[in-house]
Amino acid sequence: MTTTVPGGPLSGLLVADFSRILAGPYATMLLADLGAEVVKVEGPGGDDTRTWAPPVREGVSTYYLGVNRNKRSVALDLKDPDDVAAARELARRADVVVENFKPGGLARFGLDYDSVAATNPAVVYASISGFGSGPGGRALPGYDLIVQAISGLMSLTGDPQGDPYRAGVAVFDVMAGLHATIGVLSALNLRHETGRGQHVEVNLLASAMSGLVNQTSAFVAGGVVPFRMGNSHPSLFPYEPLPCSDGDLIITAGNDGQFRKLCEVLGLPELAADPRFLRNEDRTANRDELRPLLVERLRTRTKMEWFRDIIGAGVPCGPINTVDQGIAFAEEVGLDPVVTVGEGADAMPSIRNPIRFSDTAATYRLPPPRVDEHGEEIRRWLAAPEESP
């Protein structure tokens, strides 16, 4: 029997969120879901993503809504001395500061790491940038699409005979947000021993170099420059969409045992014993010979008929869904992907935090805030003796 601990594993932590757009807000939302108190500091015009529309929900961009729940908003104009003083006081009280200004951009306000740490040596201060704080990258603005292009990802995405394509989501913003979260939690863990915080730096390009995993490793460890292969995998086959009678089915036989099972369920056991296809290296080298043999059999039935049988045989596969179908599938397998945040007129659906704990569940306390929705109470708290907001 387990006992749920109210408030989440990060309950009691105060996060001052000076970030905007995606990487920083995603990181701070994850921290907030796990119990941290997050104060979102916005300029008078609010986070840029508030206007990134369509689509919208009740006039607010769903982009903004997707990464800003469980936060309180205060609008501070850093051109105003009183607001700068409030921002500094917030940073002085915070356990964690997250920002994604250009490197050095907060120094003129006394909100850079060195300035904050001078009055708050226990602070864990996370900076997220596009290309790092070094002399070559600090001046470069960093949007995910630019990093997808510069990192090489786009050279790997799309039809081999067509143009490079971006991924359908800001993958490196999300990766950088996750890396920032890992960095913050690691620094907090060390703080338990030392009592001191530290500066955590994450940038999109470094996240891309790490996140390209086998593709960057192919070059640095193997001297091979990867190239665009459409939906094919450079090191595995079958590991791609294959056509059935009514559409494509993704089939991923990731090892020799799975390939043998696939051949059995397709009624082609002889393929598993064929020297051309015996091992993964053989199948990858001879994919042009193997693919038509698989497709000929797959075209005899629908993708969902094959899906049920192939999955039943223990071989990973799946249909190519739209986003709504993907959410429906997550519901079917018991992941409960949609949660309701807020109550009454403010209640709205949101995607569940993907981390599950046995004792300290994520919580969904506050819907994404309006600009300066909590400004009055936060300013009043900052002006009063120190206590939780």
Task: Give the model confidence (pLDDT) of 102-140 as tens digits.
Answer: 999 999 999 999 999 999 999 999 999 999 999 999 989
Average pLDDT over residues 307-318: 97
Q: How confident is the model at residue 389 (pLDDT cuts 50, 70, 90)?
A: low
Q: How confident is the model at residue 215 (pLDDT cuts 50, 70, 90)?
A: very high
Known catalytic membership, residue 173:
yes
* Secondary structure of residue 200 in the 3-state scheme: strand
**Whole-angstrom distance, CA of residue 64 vs CA of residue 13:** 23
Of 142 and 166, the one with more pLDDT: 166
Of 1 and 268, the one with more pLDDT: 268
DSSP-derived letter for residue 322 is: -
CATH architecture of 239-332: 2-Layer Sandwich (3.30)
pLDDT of residue 3: 41
Q: What are phi and psi of 212, to 5 degrees?
A: -80, -5
Q: What's the token pair of residue 54?
A: 């369509």
Residue for token digits 């939780």? Answer: 388
State the first-to-last Cα distance of the chain, in angstroms, to the nearest integer. Answer: 34
Strand partners, 146: none
* Secondary structure of residue 16 in the 3-state scheme: strand
Judged against a pLDDT cut of 50, whether residue 2 lies above it is answered with no
Judged against a pLDDT cut of 90, whether residue 149 lies above it is answered with yes
Do the strands 239-244 and 199-203 form a parallel or antiparallel pair, or are they unpaired? unpaired
> Residue type for 72, please?
R
Q: How confident is the model at residue 1 (pLDDT cuts 50, 70, 90)?
A: very low
HSE at residue 92, side-chain half, CA atoms within 13 A, is 14
pLDDT tens digit sequence for 321-369: 999 999 999 999 999 999 999 999 889 999 999 999 999 999 999 999 9
Q: What are phi and psi of 199, to 5 degrees?
A: -95, 120
Judged against a pLDDT cut of 90, whether residue 141 lies above it is answered with no
Distances (CA, A) of 271 to 36, 74, 95, 317: 55, 64, 60, 19
What are the extents of the domains in the chain?
Answer: 14-213+338-383, 239-332
Judged against a pLDDT cut of 80, whether residue 182 lies above it is answered with yes
Helix 81-93 crosses helix 375-383 at what angle (to 10 degrees)? 70
Q: What are phi and psi of 41, to 5 degrees?
A: -95, 120
DSSP-derived letter for residue 105 is: T
* Secondary structure of residue 187 in the 3-state scheme: helix
Percentage above 90 pLDDT, the chain? 95
DSSP H/E element including 296: helix 287-298
Domain 14-213+338-383 belongs to what topology?
Rossmann fold (3.40.50)
Percentage above 70 pLDDT, the chain? 98
pLDDT tens digit sequence for 251-282: 999 999 999 999 999 999 999 999 999 999 99
Kindly name the residue from 83, 144, 173, 372 that is annotated as catalytic: 173
Q: What's the token pair of residue 261?
A: 């099972």
